[in-house]
Amino acid sequence: MHPILVLLLIAVWGAAMWLGFMYVFPVLFAATLVVAGAAALGLYYLNACRTLAPSALDGPSPVAEPKIAYRHYLLGQVWRDWWTISRTVVPQVYRTARTILVRLTRLLLGGFWGFFVFPVWLALCTGIVAAAVPAGVFVLALTVLYGVVAAVGLAVWLVCVLVLAAVERVFMMYGRILQTCPHPFCYERIGLPEYECPGCGARHTHLAPGSGGAFRHVCRCGARLPTTVPLGRFRLAAYCPHCGGRLPERIGRVRVEPLPFVGGPAAGKTTFMVLGIRALHARARTLHGRLAFVEQRHAQAYAGAIREFQRGGRLAKTGPELPLATMVDVELPGRSRRILYLFDPAGEHYTGATEVESLRYLDHGEALLFVVDPFALPQLRGSLTGDELEFVDQAAVSSEEDPADTLQRVLNELRSRPDQGHQKRVAVIVTKTDLLARTEIGRCLGERRAQGGPDGGGDGGPDNGSDDGAGLREWLGDVGLGNTVRALDQLAGQVRYFASGLATEPADVADLLGWVTGLAPAGSAGGQPPADAPQELPGTAPLRAPWPVRGRGPGRVPVGYQAGRWAVLAGLSVLTVATVTGAVVAAAERFPF
């Protein structure tokens, strides 16, 4: 080639390089940087919308269906969403940039003209590569945004969890809420029952403010379930976490009151329990309250016992198996509410230390009823004449177990408790007093009662200062239960003595049970139902409205997940707008028109 032509080409190339690097490169580099950065930003935002906007479980960032309940969004899924966006966008941006760089290189440097457009190629490639810096800063800012949203949300969640847990704790302590199992071979104290989802039947073992949510847990079927009793958790079906047995409605909202009937075989425990339920039902009707059985079988058994009484027959002997508590839900307006667990085992369960040990419900109660068959007292039975003994044996079956021995076995078992078996209230019921009154020693009791106070009285012990029922208490001491009376004074804060028979006034029985269960103050108002009121039997009507099944369905993410995603997407939108605005302002200041 001619030297002049070579020099001319060198001069043209030098001019092209000078013009390219002085005028073209700065403008084209800045434009490429802005366009590439905006493209990366738009691609990130588009993928974020695709990931965070859908409400289906099988979206771009799948939400695994839990075994029981969903965990809180901020405890895991929020970071899975972030990782889904990042692992999708970063490789896609890298592949796109690499493809563009390869094509630009082939297009601009693939021929002789590459010597003259090198500044253009360099500006474009450098702008694309340099766009990684603001893109990386944006990704870092997005990660910080995720961290801020998670931190703020978790702080609010933790405060709500602590407040709700404290409120429920105060509620339980103020109401002295006791939860225990009524089922045989269990009888355990319950901290938190298992609750059944009304939508799919799944049992939630930790339905409380925690990792599943503060106010609501979301079941695998999508149903939203309350986490505390004040929020409505008592409206769910509850089960014992130890044995799986069904628990009464409203458990956790009102106190469970275990009430053991202690007495030997044929002492009259079942009879007095039926009389007590009848009296409490009458009291509830008088006060416009309600009483209902938890179990249908107990309602049926009670109805059968009432029919047997009306026919003048005797109740069947209690079976030898460990008892399921007769659960009675009682509500007296303006007074109190209780779920009574009436434990009426066969008397044979009190005839041996091993048998008494199996009655684990004795570990939880603070009141009991000691049922005394007077004709089982050896000293009293020995004082009966032949005619009186024949009359008593024909009229009723008498227990063969000395009440003093029965109580001693129970006391030995109670002393194994941390509180040494202390009871707040003990009611001593002397049964079959209608038969006792037809004996000479029974007439002595009548005279003592007339001197000592009414039948329903009898607070004993050194703390109460009451002399009501002193006649019955002293009479029991005279017929061989003196040591038993003194042992009860040491065991209980208050002891009341009560004479019971088939003709005993229901109002007196209701007063006694109201006192021993804490349902109402002793001697509180409440007479008999109106004379023309139908003698209806208590049923098993539900005492609470069931929890409604509400939720988004099993195929959609919980509301909390959607709210968390939208919060992140809103923050991302603000961050995107701020980034674009900042870039435009910076470009306008750098290249004023």
Neighbours of 547 (CB within 10 A): 21
Q: Please give the C-alpha separations between residue 458 and each of 94, 428, 436, in angstroms, as whole numbers.
A: 90, 9, 19
Q: For position 518, what pLDDT does the model report?
A: 84
| Beta pairing class for 255-262 and 326-332 | unpaired
Q: How far apart are CA 21 and CA 33, in angstroms?
A: 16
| Burial state string for 449-472 with b = 16 or more CB within 10 A and e = fewer than 16 | beebbebbbbbbbeeeebebbbbb
Q: What average pLDDT does the segment 542-560 reach?
A: 81
Q: What is the mean pLDDT of the chain?
A: 83
Question: Distances in Å between the alpha carbon of 425 and those of 187, 288, 460, 523?
Answer: 21, 27, 10, 15
pLDDT at 457: 44
Out of 206-210, 318-322, 515-519, 583-587, the most confident range is: 206-210
% pLDDT > 70, the chain: 89
Helix (H, G, I), strand (E, B) or coil at 262: strand
Confidence of residue 381 (pLDDT cuts 50, 70, 90): confident
Under the banding of pLDDT at 50, 70 and 90, the label for residue 420 is: confident
Lowest mean pLDDT: which of 17-21, 244-248, 355-359, 589-593? Answer: 589-593
Where along the chain do the CATH 3.40.50.300 domains lie? 254-517
Quote the pLDDT of residue 467: 37
Query: In this predicted structure, what is the pLDDT of residue 519?
Result: 81
Q: How confident is the model over 205-219, as pLDDT tens digits?
A: 999 999 999 999 999
CB 350 within 8 A of CB 410: yes
Answer whether 250's CB lies under 8 Å from 339's CB: yes
Is residue 552 predicted with pLDDT exceeding 70? Answer: yes
The residue type at 159: V
128-137, 314-323, 498-507: range with highest mean pLDDT: 498-507
Predicted confidence band of residue 277 (pLDDT cuts 50, 70, 90): very high
Q: pLDDT tens digits for 440-476?
A: 887 777 665 555 544 444 444 433 333 345 678 888 8
Sheet arrangement for strand 423-430: 290-293, 326-332, 336-343, 255-262, 367-372, 423-430, 492-499
Q: What share of the chain is helix, strand, coil (3-state, %, to 5)?
A: 50, 15, 35
**DSSP class per residue in 279-320:** HHHHHHHHTT-EEEESSHHHHHHHHHHHHHHHHT--PPPPPS
pLDDT value of residue 275: 92
Fold of the 254-517 domain: Rossmann fold (3.40.50)
- Cβ pair 67, 26 in contact under 8 A: no
Res 320 pLDDT > 90: no
Integer Cα distance of 100 and 409 in angstroms: 92
* pLDDT interval class at 429 (50, 70, 90): very high
Closest C-alpha among 224, 97, 275 to residue 563:
224
Predicted model pTM: 0.79
Phi, psi of 492 (to 5 degrees): -115, 150
When pLDDT is averaged across residues 240-257 and rounded to a whole number, the result is 89
10 vs 231: which has the higher pLDDT: 231
What pLDDT does residue 543 have? Answer: 63
- The arithmetic mean of pLDDT across residues 339-349, rounded, is 90
What does the pLDDT average to over 71-95?
Answer: 87
CA distance 514 to 337: 11
Q: pLDDT over 90 for what percent of the chain?
A: 21
* Mean pLDDT value across residues 434-445: 82
Instruction: Please write the tens of the pLDDT for every residue from 279-304.
Output: 999 888 888 888 999 888 899 989 88
Which band of pLDDT confidence, cut at 50, 70 and 90, is reported for residue 428? very high
Which strands, in side-by-side order, build the sheet including 194-196?
A: 203-204, 194-196, 237-239
Average pLDDT over residues 409-422: 86
